[in-house]
Structure 1
Amino acid sequence: MYARYVRAMDILHRFCMLVAGLCLVVITIIIPWGVYTRYVLGYGSQWPEPIAIILMIVFTFSAGAVCYRENLHIAVMALPSMTAGWARTILGFVIELCMLGTSIFLLGFGTKLVRATWNQVMAQMPSIPVGLTYSPIPIGGAIIALFVIERIWSGRFFAPAESTPPFSSQTSDMD
């Protein structure tokens, strides 16, 4: 069961990396287009800026989940490096519980925000509900919660997740 969960998290991890990368590529393409239409063609396209903002929100929460799973997030290691044994394990567990609480907060209040703003529209793009722009918040919270559960289940609190390297053809030996 654990090995299947880790494999599923590997797939989710790679998907989040792909989404984050695609967001950056699209932002890199559409922002110069907006500048080109405004300053060269003499009219400003209305869509590049709001689309770039939406993609930046998607990038932030998908890349944030990736960084959490790879243990690349901001972490102060002073206290964990001074502890050992059961104290270090308990500290790691408490930190993960705090992360779980944070991800549940993002999921719960993000969902509430999406629902509250769903019937509002963006001024620049009236066809897109404001709630849609906030939907990466609860989705990111749910993904981070899944990664926290994986870390608590593994008991490896201060190390990256046990998985195959991204985009590797190797399979995990965690059967």
Structure 2
Amino acid sequence: MKAQYIRLMDLLHRICMIIAGFCLVLITLIIPWGVFTRYVLNSASSWPEPLAVLAMIWFSFLAAALCYRERLHIGVAVIPMMLKGKARLAIGWLIEICMMGVNVFMLWYGVKLVQAMWYQWISDFPEIVSVGMSYLPVPLGGAITALFVIERLWKSEFFIEPTTEEISHISTE
């Protein structure tokens, strides 16, 4: 069961990476188009900037979940490194439970925010993209990161720094 869950998280990781990568490519293509229409054609398009912002929001929350799973987030491990044995394990569990609390908060209140804003339209995309859709990455990012927290708790792998090979593997996916 544990191996199946880890494989499922690997698949989720891959899907998040593809979507985040797509968002980054989309931003890279949209912004120059907006600059071109504004400064060369003297007829600014209204959609590039808000679409780039939406893509950046999606990218940010998905990339944050990916960075958490790959242990590439900022972490201060001064106290855990001074501890040994059960004390170190206990603080690892405490940190991950706090992380789970933050993600459950993001999920719970993110869903409420999405529901509250679902029928308000973004003025640049009337009847196509709602404000709620722009907030959708908040609960989604919280849920995905919570699944990654469960994986880390299940594996009991705390305070493990990624190796150079792991980091270079991530950058070449």
Q: Confirm or deny a common fold (TM above 0.5).
A: yes
Identify the structure with the greater helix proportion: 2
Change (3 A) 1:122 1:108: same
Alignment map for 1:36-47 (pairs within 5 Å) = 36-47=36-47
User: After superposition, where does 1:52-67 map in structure 2 within 5 Å?
Assistant: 52-67=52-67
Matches within 5 A, 1:69-88: 69-88=69-88
The list of structure 1 runs, each at least 4 consecutive aligned residues, that deviate by more than 6 angstroms after superposition, is none
Is 2:156 the counterpart of 1:155? yes
Offset, 1:128: 1.1
* Matching residue's letter, 1:72: L
Q: 1:172 maps to which residue?
A: none
1:9 corresponds to: 9
Q: Structure 2 length normalisation: TM-score?
A: 0.91
In structure 1, the gaps of 5 or more residues are 169-175
Aligned equivalents of 1:109 and 1:71: distance in 2? 25
Number of corresponding residues: 166
Displacement of 1:20 after TM fit?
A: 1.2
CA contact (8 A) 1:14 1:166 kept: no
Deviation at 1:167, TM superposition (A): 9.9
- Equivalent residue number for residue 92 of structure 1: 92
- Higher relative CO (Cα under 8 Å, sequence separation at least 6) belongs to 1
The normalised TM-score by structure 1 is 0.90
Q: Return the offset for 1:87.
A: 0.4
Instruction: Encode CA deviations 1:108-154: one digit per residue, 9 max, x unaligned.
Output: 00000000111111122112110000001101100000000000011
> Structure 1 vs Structure 2: percent identity of aligned residues?
54
Partners of 2:46 and 2:142 in 1: CA distance: 30
User: RMSD of the alignment, in Å?
Assistant: 1.7
Which ranges of structure 2 fall in alignment gaps of 5 or more residues? none
1:139 matches 2:144: no
1:55-99 CA deviation, whole Å, 9 max, x = no partner? 000000100000000111111011111111000000000000000
Q: Please tell me whether the aligned partners of residues 89 and 157 of structure 1 are also in contact (alpha carbons under 8 angstroms).
A: yes
Q: Residue 75 of structure 1: SS of its match in structure 2? A: coil
